[in-house]
Amino acid sequence: MIKRFIALTLLLAIGGLFASLLLGYTPDSELNQTARYYAERTSPDIGAANIVTAIIVTYRGLDTLGEVTVLFLSAAIVGLVLALGGKSGKTGRGTVPVGELLTTGTRYLAPLIMLLGVYVFVNGHLTPGGGFQGGAILASGVLLLLLADPLKRFSHVLIATIESFAGLLYVLIGLFGLVLAGGFLDNRFLPTGELGALFSAGAIPLIYSLIGLKVGAEFASMLASLSESETS
Amino acid sequence: MMPSIAQLAMATGFILILIGFYGALTQRNLLRMIVAFTLSGTGVNIVIVAIGYMHGRTAPILDATVNAADAVSRVIDPVPQALVLTAIVIGLGVTALMLAYALKLHEQRRSLDIAKFTELKW
Amino acid sequence: MVSPLYLIVLALAAAFLLGLLNPERRGRAYAVTLVALAGMTLISADWLWAFTMEGIDPVDVYTAGAEPPFAINLRMGLAEAALTLLVNLTGLLSALYLKDVLLAGGRRTMAVLLISVMALVGIILTRDLFNLFVFFELVVISSAGLVLLANDKDGGPASGLSLSAGFKYLIVSQFISAFLLLGIIFAYHATGTLNIDGMANASLGLATGGTIAFFLMFMAIVAELKPFPANGWALDIYESAHPAFSAIFSAATGAAALYAVDKLLLIGGAEWLPIATGIGIVTFIAANLFALPQTHDRRLLGYSSIAQTGLVLVVLGQRDLLGDSTPFIAFGLLISHAVAKAGLFWLSGLLKNRQLADWAALRQRPLLVFAFVTFTAMLTGLPPFPGFYAKWELVHQLAGAGQFTLLGLILLGALIEAGYLFRWFGYLMKREAPVETVPCTGHKVGPVLVAVAAGWALAYLWGDLAGGLFGRDNLLLALPLLFALSFLLLDWLPAWIKNSLAIAGMVAFFLLTWGEYDPLRLIFAIIFLIGGALTLLASYSVHGRRIGFYPAAMLMYAGMVMLIRATTSFDFFAAWELLTVGSYFLILRGKHSEPHALSYILFSLGGAFLILAGFALAAAGAPQFDLASLAQVAAPAAPWVFVLLAVGFMTKTAAIGLHIWLPGAHAEAETDVSPMVSGILLKAGLYGMMVLLLAMGKQQLYGVELTHVLLWIAALTALIGNLMAVFQEDAKRLLAYSSIGQMGYALFGLALMNHLGWLMALVFVINHYIYKSMLFLAVGGVAKRTGTREMYKMGGLIRLMPLSFIAVLIGIIAVSGVPPLSGFGGRWVFYNAIMSAEYRLPMVVLFMAGPIAFLYLFRLIYTIFLGQLKDELRRVKEAPFWIVLPQMIYVALLLVFAVVPGLALRHVDAYLNQFFPEGGLHWGGGTIISDYGYWNPVAIMIIVGVIFTTVFALLLIVNRKAQMVKQFNIVFSAERPFRPETTHYAWNFYAPYRKAMGFLTQPFVTRFWDTLADLLHTAGDLGRRLYDGNGQSYGFHFLAFVVIVFFVGGI
Amino acid sequence: MSPLLTGMTLVLCVAMIVAALLAIRDPSPEVAKTDTGGLPIAILAAGLVSLIASILFLILAAPDVAMTEAAIGSGLTTFLFFFVLGRIRRHETSGDNHD
C-alpha cells in the first residue's frame, strides 16, 4: 500500500510537470523553419511525394539506419537470450490443435499478405506507409504461417541472410550517396524522376524496399524465436 | 473555450504515460510491467504526433490536392511524424527484448514476480 | 583522413556482413570483428593525430546532402577524436579479451559488440538531438545484450544474475526514454529545430515550455551517468556482467554519456551548470561512501566508476568558473578513470573469486601487481598521472573562486575513495592467497598491459600539456623520478646489484648537486641522500631479488630530493605525494603492516589534501607560485593557509592527534625500512614546517597566535609520545613512540620562532636521524636474531650481541641528552632557546617530558641486554654484518658530532642569522657561547669520561662480592609465575607509573579516529541498502531523482 | 473547428484511458493465483489502446504513423505478448510436475 502511495505522490509531481507542459503548449500557426524547408524543398530536391518518407529515408536517414539497427540488435539479442542455457529435452512444442480452416486459409492468404507488404514499401515515397509498415505486414504473413503450422521451422539461415544482405546493401547505398552525391544516404545519385512516379525520388524506393525486407526479416526472426521451443 | 484536438490528444497522451508509469511501478508481474510500458510508449507517441498537428491542414503528402507549390501553407509539420515512426519501431524492439528476458527469467525461477529477482543488491 | 562517417559505416557493415558468413566458421567472423574495430581505432587515431599535430579545425560532416538543421550532421573535433579513440580502443581490447566468449557465442554476439561500440561513437559524433536518442537506445539495447555474455568459461552460460540485471536496466531505460522523447519533442516545438547547435542559439530556456523540456532531456541523459540515487541498476550490471563488458560500460559508455551531457549543457546554458555540479558532487560522495563497506570486487569498481563520473560532471558544471582549463581537467579525470577502470575490470577477469581479499592471488604475477598499482595511482590522482594535474588545477581554480564547500567535498570524497582503493591494495599484498593459478594468456593479459602503457603515456602527455600551459617541467622527466622508475625495469636483478646501484645513484646525485643548496637545505640533502645511502647499507643483508623494494624506496628518496629542490608550490606538492606513496609501499612490505600502512597512507593523503588546499588558497587563482612568495599571502587568507599547511605537515611529523599511524607503521616495517621511515622520512614533515614558518612567520587567527598553538601541540606531543613509549613491551614500538616525542621537541624548537629554537630543531634533525636509525637497526637486528620484538622475551644479550649493545648504549645516551654525546648539545641549545622565549607553561610540559625519556630508554638497554639470558636464546649470534656496519658508522658519527658540533651547526647558525638576527651563538675555537653560558664539547667529553671511569671503578670495588642469581630463582620474591610474561623481571616494568599517569595514555585519539571510520562505514552500509535489488525500486529511484532535482534545483 | 471531429476525438480519448486502466488493473485474487492469470485481458486492452491510438493518428493527419501503430503497436506487439504468454503457460503446466 505504501508503495502505491509513494508511486501516486511521485506521479503527481511528474503529472504537474506534464500539466505545465500541456498548459504552456500553443499550437504553431505557421510551419517552423525546419518543417518549412521540408515542405518547400522535398519535391524539387528529393522528388518524393510523401514528405515523411523523404525525411525518414533521406534527411534523417542516419536515424533510420539506427532504427533498423535497433531491430537487428533486438532480433539478435532475443535469439541470444532464448538460446541461453538451452535446455534440451523439451523439444516439441506442446501439441496445439490447429484448425483445418487456418491451415488451408493460410496457404492462400500468406502470399497475398506478403505481396501487400511489398506493395506498401515499394510505394513508400508516394503514399502513406513504407519500409516499416511493409516490413510489419510481411512479418505478419510469416506469423500466419507460424500459426498454421507451429512445427514448421523457419529457416533461420534464410532470414538471417535476407536481413544481413539488406542491411549491407543499405549501408552500401548510403556510401554511394557519400561518394556520388551530397552526403551519406543522399538519394540523388539516382535520378529523382518525376514526382509521383514509381521510379522516382532517387534511391528512396530502393532504400525503403531494403528497409522493408530487412525489417520484415527482423520481425520474422523475433517472432520465430519467441514462438519456437527452446532448441537452438 | 473548447480544447483543440491536439490539446485533447496531448492530454490523453500524458495521462496514458502516467497510467503506464503507475502500472510499471505497482505491478509486480514482469509481463504486466511490460504491458504498462507499452501503454506509456503509446502515450509518448500520441503526445509527439499531437504536438505537430496544426488545425485545418492535411497530412504531409503531396498529391492531386496538395501540390508542391502551396505545400508550405497546406501541410502539417512532418518532423514529429518521422520521429514517431522511429520511436514506435524502437519501442517494439525494446518490448521484444524485455519479453525475451521475462521468458528466460521465468524459465529459471518459475516466477514472474519482480521482487523475486533481488540477489544483486547493495 | 577518411570521413568520420566511416566509423559508423565500418561497424554496421561488419555487423551485417557477419550474418552472411557461415555460422560455423566462427574464427572468420571473429577476424571480421577485430578488423572492423581495429579500422575504427585507426580512423580515430588518425583524426586525433591531425588535430593535435597538424592543428586542423573541427570538421562538420553533413548527411543526405543537406545542411543542418535540415539533415543530421556529425562533428569531428579534438574532443570527439580523443573520445572515439578511447571508445574504439576499449572496444577493440575488450573484443580481444573476449576471444573465447565471442567464439563460443557466435556471430550474433560479435554483431552486438560491434553495434554497441558504433552506437557509443554515434553519441559522441552526432549533433542532432533525436539522433542522440537513437544512439542511446542502441547503447541501451546492446548493453542489455552484452550483460548476458557468459561470465567465465567454467561458469557456463550467463547466470540468472546478469539476466535480472539486464532486465532492471531495461526497466529504468524505459522511464528514461519516455522522458527523453518528451523533452526532445517539446524542445523541438519551442525552437523549431533538432540540431543541438541550432537549439543552443535559439536559447531554448526563453521559449515557452523550454525550461521543462530541457529539464526532461537533461534528466534523461544525466540518468545515463548513473547519478545517485538513480543508479542501482548500474551496480547490478557491474556486479554480474562479464568484466570485459564492464570495462566498456565503465570507460567507454561513461565517457560517451558525459560528452552527451556536455553537449546538452550547450543548449541549457549557464543556469543549468549548478544543477550539474550538485548532481555530480552528491553522486561522487554517495558512491564513494557506499563503496566503503563493499567486499565484492566488481561492485566496488562499479561504485568507483559512478563516483568518478560524478566528479567529471562536477567539473563540467563548473565550466564557467574553470574556463579554458575545463577540457584539461575534465579529460584528465575522465581518461585516468577510463584507462584505470578498464584495466581493473580486465584484471578482475583473470581471477576466479570475487571477494576483495581474493585478489591476493595476483601476487603470483608481479607485473600484474604493478598494473594494479598503476591503476590505483591513476584513480587516486597521484603524480605523475593525469588525474594529479587535473586535481591540482581543479582545486586551485575552485579555491581561487572561493568555492570552499565544493572543494572540501571533493577532497573528502577523494579521500574516501583512496581509502577503499588502498585498503584493497593492502589485501592484495598481505592477505592469504586463494589456491588458484592466475592465467597468463596473451589475449587477456595483453589488454591490461596496453592499459598500463596507456596510463604512463598519458602521464607523460599530461606533464607535457601542463608544461605548455603553465610553464612547468614535465614531472615524468625529473631525474630523481626517472631514476626511481628505472628500478622497475631492473627489478629482475639480484638485490645486491640493485642496492649498489641505488647507493651509487644517491651519492652521485648528491655530489653533482650539493653546491646548489643553501645550508638549511644542505642539511636535509645530506640526510636524505647520504643518510639514505648509509641506511641502504643495511639492505645488503637481504638476499634474493627483493621484488618491489627498490622501486618503492627509490620513489621515496626521489620524492624527498625533489621536495628540497622544489621552488614552486606545484613541484613541492608533487614531490610530497611521491615520497608519500613511495614510503607507503615500503611500509606495506612489513609482515603485519597491512592496517598500519593503510592508516599511514590515509593520514598522509588527508594531510596532502590539506596542503593542496592550503597552496590553492595561497595561490589565489594562479596555477602555482614560488614557495618564497608564501610570505606575500594577504591577510584574510594567510592564517588559513598557515593552518592548512601546518596541519598537513604535522600529519607527517605525527603530531599528537595525527600520530596514530606512526607506531604501527614504524614498528611493523622491515628491519632496514624502519630507519628509513623513521630516521629519514619524518624529516620531510619538518622540512615542510620550516619552509612554511620561514615564509609566513607568526600568524594570528581570531586573535590567537598560531605559533603559540603550535608550541602547545609540540609540547603535548613530546610529553604524550614519551609517556606512551614508557609502557611499550615491543622494542620497535617503543622506539616509534619515542620518535613521536622527539618530533615534538623539534616542532617546539621551530615554533619558538627564534634563532636558538631553530638551531635546536636542526640539531634534532641531525641527531634524530643518526640515533633513531641506529637504534632501529640495532633493535631490528636483535629482533631478527631472537625472532621476537617483545622485550620480556629477551634479556642478557650483552655477551652474545656486544656490538648491538654498544650501539644501543651510545644511542640512548645520545637520545636522553645527557652529556657527553651530541644529544646533550641539542639539549643545551634547547635550554638556551626556551630561556629566551616567553612561553613558560608549555615549557614546563616539555621539561616533564625529559625525565620520562630516561625511563623508556633505560628500559631498552636494561631489558634487552642486561639481566638473565633466556634458555632458548643461548645460541643467538650477533646481528648480520651489514646491519651492524651502519650502526658502527653511526656510533662514529655521533662521537664526531659530539666533539665538533660546529661542523654543521656553524653554517646553519650563520644562515639563520638572515632570519633571526638576534640571539645567535658565538663560535670561539672549541667553545660555543650563548647569551646564557658556554659549551665546550671537548671539555665536557673529558670531564664526563673521567667521572664515568671513576664511578665505574668504585662500583667494581664496592660490589666485589656480588653474587650471580640463577635465572629461575624468582621464587624468592614469593611470586608464582602463572603467565610466561611474568617470568621476566622487566615485564610491565613501569606498572606503578601506569597507575599514576596511565590516564594520559588512554587511546583517546585512536578511539576518535576509529569512531570516525566506523561512522563512515555505517553510513555507507545504511545508505547502500537503498538499492534493494528490486527493479521496480530502481524505477522509483529514477522518478524520485527527477522530482528531487526539480524541487531542489528550483526549476 | 468541427465539433464532430472534436467529439469523436474526445470519445476515442476516453476509450483509450478506460482501456489503459483496464490494462493495468490489479488482477482479482482468484485470477492472480497463477503468474499468467488475467494477463490476456491486460494484453488485449493494451492492444486496444494502440488500435484506438492509430485511429487518433488518422484524425491528427498522420497516416504514416497510423499505419505503423496499427501494424506494429497493436498487431505485432500483441502477438509477441501472446507468444511469450503461451510459452510461459507451457512452462507452468510442464514445470509443475517437473519440479
Q: What interface predicted TM-score (ipTM) does this complex get?
A: 0.94
Nearest CA in chain B to D87: B103
The reported pLDDT for the residue numbered A154 is 65
Residues 46-75 of B with CB under 8 A from D: 46, 49-50, 52-53, 55, 57-59, 61
CA distance C415 to C397: 19
pLDDT digits (tens, 9 = 90+) for C261-300: 999 998 888 889 999 999 999 999 999 999 999 999 999 9
Under a CB-based contact definition with an 8 Å cutoff, are residues C165 and C233 in contact?
A: yes
Q: What is the DSSP string of C58-89?
A: PEEEEBTT--TTTS-EEEE-HHHHHHHHHHHH
Q: What confidence tens digit (pLDDT) does each residue in A93-147 have?
A: 444 556 677 777 777 888 888 888 888 888 877 888 788 888 888 888 888 887 7
Backbone angles phi, psi at A213, to 5 degrees: -60, -45
Average pLDDT over residues C970-981: 56
| DSSP bridge pairs for C927 | C924
Per-residue pLDDT at D58 exceeds 50: yes
**What value does the mean pLDDT take over residues D4-8?**
87
User: Quick check: C37 pLDDT over 80?
Assistant: yes
N-terminal to C-terminal alpha carbon distance within chain C: 44
- Containing C924, the helix (H) or strand (E) segment is strand C922-924
Per-domain residue ranges for chain A?
50-83+98-227
A140 touches chain D (CB under 8 A): yes
Backbone angles phi, psi at A88, to 5 degrees: -85, 180
Asked if residue C210 lies in contact with residue C218, where contact means CB atoms within 8 angstroms, the answer is no
* A175–C20 CB contact, under 8 Å: no
Mean pLDDT (whole number) for C181-198:
91
The Cα C668–Cα C659 span in angstroms is 15
DSSP string, C205-266: GGSTTHHHHHHHHHHHHHHTT--TTTTHHHHHHHHHS-HHHHHIIIIIIHHHHHHHHHHHHH
- At residue A90 the predicted structure's pLDDT band, cuts being 50, 70 and 90, is very low
Distance, CA of A20 to CA of C364 (rounded, Å): 62
C328-353 average pLDDT score: 93
Tell the burial category of C808 from Cβ atoms under 10 Å away from its Cβ (0-12, 13-18, 19+): buried
Please give the full DSSP string across C953-978, using - where no structure is assigned. Answer: HHHHHHGGG--PPPTTGGGGGT----
- Residue whose C-alpha cell is 539506419: A65
Question: Is it the case that residue C794 has pLDDT exceeding 90?
Answer: no
Mean pLDDT for the stretch of residues A46-72? 88
Q: How far apart are CA C46 and CA C829, in angstroms?
A: 68
For C456, other C-beta atoms within 10 Å of its C-beta total: 15
Helix C297-317 × helix C232-240 angle, to 10°: 140
DSSP state of C985: T
Does the pLDDT of residue C622 top 50, yes or no? Answer: yes
- Phi first, then psi, for residue C360 (nearest 5°) are -55, -25
Q: Which three cell numbers stand for residue C382?
A: 597521484
Other beta carbons within 10 angstroms of residue C915's beta carbon come to 14
pLDDT band at C976 (very low <50, low <70, confident <90, very high): low
Residues of chain A with C-beta less than 8 angstroms from the C-beta of B78: 35, 38-39, 51-52, 55
- One-letter amino acid identity for C904? A
How far apart (Å, rounded) are the C-alpha atoms in residues B61 and B76?
Answer: 10
Q: How many helices (H) and strands (E) does chain A have?
A: 8, 0
pLDDT attached to residue A92? 44
Distance CA B77, CA B55 (A): 11
Residue A88 reports pLDDT greater than 50: no
pLDDT at A91 over 50: no
Q: Under an 8 A CB cutoff, do B46 and D92 touch?
A: no
C130 band by pLDDT with thresholds 50, 70 and 90: very high
- Residue C603 CB coordination number (10 Å): 22
- Please check whether residue C843 is in contact with residue C807, taking contact to mean a CB–CB distance below 8 angstroms: no
**Among residues A187, A57, A172, which one has the least CA distance to residue C9?**
A172
Interface test with D, best of A4, A123, A133 (most D CBs within 10 A): A133
Question: What is the three-class DSSP state of C626?
Answer: strand
The 10s digit of each residue's pLDDT in C51-72 is 988 889 999 988 887 888 888 9
How far apart CA C872 and CA C730 sit, in angstroms, is 19
In whole angstroms, give the CA distance from residue C636 to residue D10: 68
Longest dimension (CA), chain A: 64
Among C residues 105-144, those touching chain B with beta carbons less than 8 Å apart? 130, 134, 137, 140-141, 144
Do D and A make contact via 3 or more CB pairs under 8 A? The reply is yes
On whether the CB atoms of residues C57 and C65 are closer than 8 A, the answer is: no
pLDDT of residue C967: 57
Give the residues across from B58 on adjacent strands: B75
Cβ within 8 Å, pair A65-C1043: no
DSSP D99: -
- A201 has a pLDDT exceeding 80: no
pLDDT tens by residue, C736-792: 999 999 899 899 989 988 888 888 888 888 888 998 999 999 999 999 888 888 888
d(CA C903, CA C908): 10
Over 80: is that where the pLDDT of C817 sits? Answer: no
Determine the average pLDDT of the residues in D56-84. Answer: 89
Average pLDDT in the A196-210 region?
A: 81
For residue A143, what are the contacts with CB-CB under 8 A and spacing of at least 6? A220, A223, D76, D79
Per the CB < 8 A criterion, the answer to whether C411 and C395 are in contact is yes
pTM of the model: 0.93
What is the phi/psi pair of residue C61, to 5°? -115, 120
Average pLDDT over residues C586-604: 93
pLDDT band at C155 (very low <50, low <70, confident <90, very high): very low
Q: Above pLDDT 70, what percent of chain C? A: 95
- Alpha-carbon distance of C449 to C442, in angstroms, equals 10
Asked if C757 and C765 count as a contact pair (C-beta separation under 8 A), the reply is no
Q: Could you give the C-alpha distances from C15 to A206, C651, C684, in angstroms and in order?
A: 21, 57, 59
Cβ within 8 Å, pair B17-C178 = yes
**Interchain proximity C189–A61, CB inside 8 Å:** no
C307-316 confidence digits (pLDDT tens) = 999 999 999 9
The SS3 of residue B57 is: coil
pLDDT at residue B37 is higher than 90: yes
D-chain residues near A130 (CB < 8 A) = 64
Phi, psi of A182 (to 5 degrees): -80, -15
CA distances for C794 relative to B109, C801, C862, C887, angstroms: 64, 12, 10, 20
| H/E stretch holding C577 | helix C569-588
pLDDT at C157: 46
Residue C439 belongs to what H/E stretch? none
C1029 touches chain B (CB under 8 A): yes
CB contact under 8 A, C192 and A34: yes
Q: What is the DSSP letter of C382?
A: -
> What are residue C934's DSSP bridge partners?
C929
Interface test with A, best of D77, D87, D92, D96 (most A CBs within 10 A): D87
Q: Which pLDDT band, with edges at 50, 70 and 90, does A197 fall under?
A: confident
Mean pLDDT of chain B: 88
pLDDT average, residue stretch C578-591: 93
In whole angstroms, give the CA distance from residue C421 to residue C889. Answer: 41
> Does the pLDDT of residue C117 top 60, yes or no?
yes
- The residue assigned the cell 582503493 is C421
Distance of alpha carbon C185 from alpha carbon B84, whole angstroms: 10
Query: CA-CA distance, C748 to C721, in Å (whole number)?
Result: 14
Mean pLDDT rounded to a whole number for chain C: 88
Out of D42, D53, D57, closest to residue B32 by CB: D42
Do the chains contact at D26 and B27, CB–CB below 8 Å? yes
d(CA D89, CA C168): 23
The answer to whether the bond into C820 is cis (omega within 30° of 0) is yes
- For an interface test with B, the pick among A11, A68, A74 (most B C-beta atoms closer than 10 Å) comes out as A74
Residue D56 banded pLDDT, cuts 50, 70, 90: very high
Which carries the bigger pLDDT value, residue C442 or residue C689? C689
Residue D69, pLDDT > 70, answer yes
Q: What is the DSSP letter of C476?
A: G
D64 touches chain B (CB under 8 A): yes
The answer to whether the peptide bond before residue C229 is cis (omega within 30 degrees of 0) is yes
Tell me how far CA of residue C371 lies from CA of C362, C425, C448, in angstroms.
10, 11, 7
C-alpha cell at A2: 505504501
- Domains annotated for chain B, with CATH where assigned, are 5-57+68-116 (1.10.287.3510)
Per-residue pLDDT of C106-116, as tens digits, reads 888 999 999 99
For B:8-37, CB contacts with A below 8 A are 10-11, 14, 17-18, 21-22, 25-26
Q: Please say if the pLDDT value at position C519 is more than 90.
A: no
**Residue B40, CA distances (Å) to B21, C169, C415, C516, C874 in order:** 7, 17, 43, 74, 86
Query: Which DSSP category does C149 fall into?
Result: S
Whether A91 contacts chain C with CB within 8 A: no
Q: Phi, psi at residue C928, to the nearest 5°?
A: -115, 130
Q: If interface means Cβ-Cβ distance under 8 Å, which residues of chain D face chain A?
A: 63-64, 66-68, 71-72, 75-76, 79-80, 83-84, 86-87, 90, 94
Task: Give the count of Cβ contacts less than 8 A between chain A and B.
Answer: 145
Cα of B24 vs its chain's centroid, Å: 14
Q: Are residues D48 and D14 in contact, defined by beta-carbon separation less than 8 angstroms?
A: no
C530 neighbors C510 (Cβ within 8 angstroms): yes
C-alpha angle C794-C795-C796 in degrees, rounded to nearest 5? 140
For CA atoms C432, C434, C439, C445, the dihedral sign is negative
Say if the Cβ atoms of C156 and A7 lie within 8 Å: no
Q: Do D17 and B12 touch (CB under 8 A)?
A: yes
Q: What cell does A201 get?
A: 525520388
Cβ pairs bridging B and C (under 8 Å): 117
